[in-house]
Amino acid sequence: MLCQVCSKKTATVHLTEIINDQMTELHLCEDCAKEKGIAGLGQPFGLQDLLAGLVDFGTPIAAGNKKTVTVKCPNCKMTYEDFRRIGRLGCSQCYDTFKESLDPLLKKIHSSTQHIGKTPARGIEDSKTNKELQDLYLQLQKAIQAEAFEEAARLRDKIKQLENKHR
């Protein structure tokens, strides 16, 4: 598609404007867009911009029924309004301070409010061994409480064998 102003270069800037349910589209080359003073060209769209756009601007942090309070992080002094404007938290304590408002945002982005993470490929065996050891220790505790000492001795030996192999 050619630029609608110069009709020489390919249009790379596409603007859509809706005013009173009337939609107008304008297709410009980069040079013509710069001449018209269209802001934001050449500026990358980053994660900060995405997060700022996802923040629910209609949900202030409120205390009580009618009184809205500006909550500040006790560590870095950032307010939720600062986070909404910047799109980035100030410190790790902000997660606790703004939890009530961040939970819906994190659920939108990650489909969960709790980070589970991934296991690196080189650590899978260690992880499996650790999980197996935890299970064996739990079984050992139950066997001891049930006074099943033969079973406890078998589990103890299995734990020792696994720990020696793991070293």
Helix (H, G, I), strand (E, B) or coil at 20: coil
125, 6, 75, 29: which is closest to 15 by C-alpha?
A: 29
Distance CA 145, CA 135 (A): 16
Q: Give the type of residue at 68.
A: T
Question: What's the mean pLDDT in 141-167?
Answer: 90
DSSP labels for 52-109?
A: HHHS-TT---BSSSS-B---B-TTT--BHHHHHHHSS-SSTHHHHHTHHHHHHHHHHH
Looking up tokens 């040079």 gives 31
Domain residue ranges of the chain, discontinuous segments joined by +: 1-43, 47-110, 121-166
Residue 11 is given by DSSP the state P
* Both structure tokens of 27: 């297709």
Residue 146 is given by DSSP the state T
The string of pLDDT tens digits covering residues 39-86 is 555 555 555 555 656 554 444 444 444 444 578 999 999 998 888 888
Distance CA 137, CA 160 (A): 11
Q: What pLDDT is stored for residue 49 in this prediction?
A: 58
Residue 138 pLDDT level (bands cut at 50, 70, 90): very high
Residue 145 pLDDT level (bands cut at 50, 70, 90): very high
How many residues belong to the chain?
Answer: 167
